[in-house]
Amino acid sequence: MAKRGVAMRGRTLVGVVLAAFVLVALSIVWRRTIGIGESERLAQLDSRRVDLEGERARLEGEIRDASARQTLGATAERRLGMHIPSDKQVVILPRPTR
């Protein structure tokens, strides 16, 4: 009877150790799976960030080109009939000295 109890304890111990091993292994695999998933998401977000920065630079460039003197000046002359004033038409107001 006593011999049987010892054997049971030994098997239980082995079972517990095995179960613990499986659990630890599972948690490691799960952690790595989560890590890889997160890593992929991070990579996608980083790629998206870079894409958006490129897009921002493109839009800023378009705004710059559209508001450049070459574009606006020509449009102002053609559509609004504006012109470069002569120097006589430019009044420079000196800042009053305080």
Residues 6+ apart with CB under 8 A from 72: 66
Footprint on residues 68-97 left by other proteins (CB under 8 A): 68-71, 73, 77, 83-97
Residues 6+ apart with CB under 8 A from 76: 82
Binding of residue 19 to other proteins (CB under 8 A): no
CB of 5 to other proteins, least distance (A): 26
61 CA to centre of own chain:
21
Instruction: Retrieve residue 5's tokens.
Output: 């109890």
Footprint on residues 30-69 left by other proteins (CB under 8 A): 35-36, 39-40, 42-43, 47-48, 50-55, 57-58, 60-61, 64-65, 68-69
